[in-house]
């Protein structure tokens, strides 16, 4: 009797150990590889999702409206080119180390030393710890969007990195595989080509709602057909924005919800201005005039109410400083294209234009085919080249390896036009995935610098309007459409920041703040 009781107790205990006390919720989503975990190297969409969840910044965009609000900072003040931030009390990193002003200084200096990602935002900026909880930034020159830029300065746990850096001065090896932030999610495992697994940080200083996912599995490089099947079978929750429109529509018809993120960016056909015949402005203007913008817009429609973009009116998306009005919508004009060809110093019949597309974004192949058809109407030969993202990013580091035409989605990574346009067009920033145009134009540089230093909104509007006019005149880029990101999602997840405009951040990627999501099943 006693023996049976003991056996029953043992089996009960074993069952309790093998069965969780609660049902863990898992959010599953995908993005294009590569997932860069080091926050100082983050620049594209997958990197941003990781950064915004593992790390925190001094400020956040105001949800549902313009401006910024304190986050790791409790308050800030500005005096000319000096900005002083007071840190919030009681914040700890995921390691348990307290947040201090020296962590902010270290994060800035590490960002500047590595010179990767979006480090150009912080050129000419120095930081000083004023006691344990106050940090002072000093700018060499006026920079109007400085506060906005701080959403791209994730704060790193200095003590943790220093303890794990080995012979690596800035801990690059450690931070390429591990998190060192204060964010709402910790890194459980990371393979930049396959998957990053994150877990809820229950010690997060703002708290994380019980309904937020316990575990997040961010997978990289899934095929569109695979994503469609997984969502239909209830084994995937949020697609990337790169699914073809008909796949998005099919998922919506099957009951999936469509989430949207109104972007501060556009879809661009970037022309290598260093490679003949596109080193001639008239050749570039001819190609820009030949493109069928209206058909491109039809190609990105998903339903009668949801589209992945809206017609372009110029070089700057609608709603930003310097944008043209709706009366300036771009349209194909073959007569104008032929006139520009006549003025070009080259005979384009002698060239075979290379049009590349990113392998992980199948929609781009269709745009390449559309462009090829448009060029054929002018007697221009072209060929299409499929490039995986990682290979493309490597090739464009040298102008001679950069295709004639590259297709890219680019967004304002801080929500300010400076971070959309400066990295693309200033002559000091060539050779990145954002800038395969390799543009070097003194007038463009001057307008970009005026936009950075404008004393008020009116001055910045004037600078960016002049920039818009100049870019349209010299055509380093064909401006396909102003974009809106669309994601298909299962009904297991609620994402207010991607479904309710009053909750939207106005910053690409931040809608994927997992702490603000709810698993509803």
**Domains identified in the chain and CATH numbers:** 26-231+490-519 (3.40.190.10), 261-484 (3.10.105.10)
What are the tens digits of pLDDT across the range 260-294? 997 688 999 999 999 999 999 999 999 999 999 99
What are the tens digits of pLDDT across the range 471-486? 999 999 999 999 899 9
Tell me if 219 sits within 8 A of 46, measured CB to CB. no
Q: What is the 3-state secondary structure (H, E, C) of 440-489?
A: CCHHHHHHHHHHHHCCCHHHHHHHHHHHHHHHHHHCCEEEEEEEEEEEEE
Task: Give residue 118's pLDDT band: very low, low, confident or very high (50, 70, 90).
Answer: confident
Average pLDDT (52-65) is 94
Beta bridge partners of 60: 69
What are the tens digits of pLDDT across the range 144-155? 999 999 999 999
Taking all residues of the chain, what is their mean pLDDT, rounded to a whole number?
92
Model confidence, pTM: 0.82
Percentage of the chain exceeding pLDDT 70: 95
Burial class (CB in 10 A: 0-12, 13-18, 19+), 25: buried
What are the tens digits of pLDDT across the range 167-223? 899 999 999 999 999 999 999 999 999 999 999 999 999 999 999 999 999 999 999
Task: Give residue 18's pLDDT band: very low, low, confident or very high (50, 70, 90).
Answer: very low
Average pLDDT (366-378) is 97
CA-based radius of gyration for the chain = 25
Q: What is the 3-state secondary structure (H, E, C) of 79-103?
A: ECCEEEEEECCCCECCCCCECCHHH
Q: What is the 3-state secondary structure (H, E, C) of 217-234?
A: EEEECCCHHHHHHHHHCC
Burial class (CB in 10 A: 0-12, 13-18, 19+), 468: buried
SS3 label, residue 277: coil
What's the confidence (pLDDT) of residue 263?
66
Average pLDDT (150-166) is 96
On the question of pLDDT at 1 being above 50, the answer is no
Q: Which of 346, 345, 358 is nearest to 403 (CA)?
A: 358
Would the CA dihedral through 237, 240, 244, 225 be positive or negative? negative
Residues 498, 517: Cα–Cα separation, whole Å: 10
What are the tens digits of pLDDT across the range 67-112? 899 999 999 999 989 999 999 999 999 999 999 999 999 999 999 9
Tell me if 85 sits within 8 A of 58, measured CB to CB. yes
What's the confidence (pLDDT) of residue 22?
56
CB under 8 Å, gap of 24 or more: what pairs does 11-16 form?
Answer: none
> Residue 294 belongs to what H/E stretch?
helix 293-299
What's the confidence (pLDDT) of residue 64?
87
What are the tens digits of pLDDT across the range 319-347? 889 999 989 999 999 999 999 999 999 99
Residues 362, 386: Cα–Cα separation, whole Å: 10
On the question of pLDDT at 23 being above 90, the answer is no
On the question of pLDDT at 8 being above 80, the answer is no
């Amino acid at each position: 009797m006693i023996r049976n009781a003991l056996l029953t107790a043992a089996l009960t205990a074993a069952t309790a150990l093998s069965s969780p006390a609660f049902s863990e919720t898992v959010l599953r989503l995908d993005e294009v590889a590569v997932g860069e975990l080091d926050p100082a190297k983050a620049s594209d969409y997958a990197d941003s999702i990781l950064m915004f969840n593992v790390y925190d910044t001094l400020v956040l965009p105001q949800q549902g409206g313009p401006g910024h609000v304190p986050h790791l900072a409790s308050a800030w003040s500005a005096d000319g080119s000096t900005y002083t931030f007071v840190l919030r009390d009681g914040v700890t990193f995921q390691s348990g180390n307290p947040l201090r002003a020296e962590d902010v200084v270290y994060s800035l200096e590490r960002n500047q030393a590595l010179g990767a990602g979006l480090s150009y935002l912080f050129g000419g900026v120095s930081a000083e710890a004023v006691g344990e909880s106050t940090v002072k930034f000093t700018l060499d020159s006026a920079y109007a969007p400085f506060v906005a830029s701080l959403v791209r300065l994730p704060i790193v746990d200095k003590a943790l990195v220093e303890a794990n850096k080995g012979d690596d001065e800035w801990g690059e090896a450690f931070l390429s595989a591990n998190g060192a932030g204060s964010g709402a999610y910790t890194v459980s495992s990371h393979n930049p080509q396959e998957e990053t697994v994150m877990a809820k940080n229950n010690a997060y200083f703002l708290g994380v709602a019980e309904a937020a996912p316990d575990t997040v599995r961010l997978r990289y490089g899934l095929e569109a057909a695979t994503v469609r099947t997984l969502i239909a079978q209830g084994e995937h929750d949020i697609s990337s924005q790169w699914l073809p429109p008909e796949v998005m529509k099919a998922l919506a018809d099957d009951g999936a919800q469509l989430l949207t993120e109104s972007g501060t960016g556009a879809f661009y056909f970037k022309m290598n201005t260093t490679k003949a015949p596109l080193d001639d402005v008239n050749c570039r203007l001819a190609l820009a005039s030949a493109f069928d913008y209206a058909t491109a817009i039809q190609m990105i429609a998903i339903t009668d109410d949801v589209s992945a973009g809206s017609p372009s009116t110029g070089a700057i998306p609608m709603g930003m400083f310097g944008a043209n009005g709706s009366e300036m919508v771009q349209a194909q004009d073959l007569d104008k294209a032929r006139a520009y060809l006549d003025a070009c110093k080259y005979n384009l019949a002698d060239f075979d234009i290379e049009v590349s597309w990113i392998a992980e974004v199948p929609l781009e192949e269709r745009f390449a085919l559309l462009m090829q058809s448009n060029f054929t109407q002018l007697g221009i030969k072209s060929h299409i080249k499929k490039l995986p993202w990682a290979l493309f990013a490597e090739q464009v580091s040298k102008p001679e390896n950069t295709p004639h035409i590259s297709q890219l989605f680019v967004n304002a990574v801080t929500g300010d036009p400076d971070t959309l346009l400066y990295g693309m067009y200033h002559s000091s920033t060539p050779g990145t995935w954002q800038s395969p145009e390799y543009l070097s134009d003194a007038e463009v540089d001057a307008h970009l610098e005026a936009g950075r230093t404008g004393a008020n909104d009116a001055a910045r509007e004037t600078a960016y309007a002049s920039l818009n006019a100049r870019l349209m005149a010299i055509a380093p880029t064909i401006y396909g459409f102003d974009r809106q990101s669309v994601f298909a999602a299962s009904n297991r997840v609620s994402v207010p920041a991607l479904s309710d405009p009053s909750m939207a951040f106005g910053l690409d990627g931040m809608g994927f703040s997992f702490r603000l999501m709810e698993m509803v099943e």
